[in-house]
Amino acid sequence: MSRKPNAAADFSVTDEVVRFDGVSMRYGDGPQVLRDLDFMLKPGSFHFITGPSGAGKTTLLRLISLAARPSQGRLEVFGQDVSRLTPKTRPALRRRIGVVFQELLLLDHLSVFDNAALPLRISGRRAPNYRNDVAELLSWVGLGGRMDSMPETLAGGEKQRLAIARAVVNRPEILLADEPTGNVDHEMALRLFRLFVELNRLGATVLIATHDQDLVARSNRPTLHLDQGRMTVRPAPGQGAGLA
């Protein structure tokens, strides 16, 4: 974890990596999932997203990851209005964002190693140049002995750890994670959280949706609390406990 974030990062235009201005979101003719959100994230910040099930946490992550567009309002990512992105400009922006969704979306025809290395292959790097980095990361998440295994042979917690490894392997400038520690034991959850902290120290902006209030309280990080689609920004609890 000694490498610096992508050299492509350029915040000369704006010191905000994400900005929501009056953003609302609904799917089709359904009710609003998010309502009039106004907030921004600075480069290198670290926040949790909390709130009850159905509050809009996953939808918020989908918007930031460019997987969806807001129904109303203006959303900027890396200083660019996402509603103006074209099929040609979107992929380059998207590659600067690492995402761990609950669905995991592993590729069953690729090995554990090749799943984890996929973002590096897409970015044009050659296997001899990244093999050691990927192997080191997989060992960190407890999959060092499963690099040649196929996803179908992994347990649920192992698949979760593989999805996390794939999301962080390219040192993204923004890391989004939806319940990333939900299927692992407490010890592994703390280990994975320290991986997120290390990426944050290297400059990544980190946003984690979680129901784990103990982790939130002990981590000493601010939260974006969602309830019925509306957001309250809560400061860090100030309890620390050495997790960061």
pLDDT tens, position by position, 128-148 = 889 999 999 999 899 999 999
- The per-residue pLDDT for 220 is 87
pTM: 0.85
How far is residue 84's CA from residue 12's CA, in Å, rounded to a whole number?
Answer: 20
- For 111, 121, 123, 132, the CA distances from 44, given in Å and listed in that order, are 32, 26, 22, 26
Residues 49-81 have pLDDT tens digits of: 999 988 999 999 999 999 999 999 999 999 999
- The per-residue pLDDT for 238 is 64
Please compute the mean of the pLDDT values over residues 161-169 and round it to a whole number.
92
User: For residue 209, what are the contacts with CB-CB under 8 A and spacing of at least 6?
Assistant: 48, 49, 50, 57, 58, 60, 61, 177, 178, 179
- The per-residue pLDDT for 7 is 34
Q: What is the CA radius of gyration of the chain?
A: 18
Least confident residue range of 66-75, 107-116, 192-201, 202-211: 192-201
How far is residue 37's CA from residue 23's CA, in Å, rounded to a whole number?
Answer: 5
- For 143, 168, 212, 232, the CA distances from 161, given in Å and listed in that order, are 8, 11, 17, 30
Whether the CB-CB separation of 155 and 147 falls below 8 Å is answered with no
Whether the CB-CB separation of 60 and 226 falls below 8 Å is answered with yes
Whether the CB-CB separation of 56 and 34 falls below 8 Å is answered with yes
Tell me the CA end-to-end span of the chain in Å, nearest whole number. Answer: 15
Residue 14: pLDDT band with limits 50, 70, 90: low
* HSE value, Cβ hemisphere, 13 Å, CA-based, for 223: 23
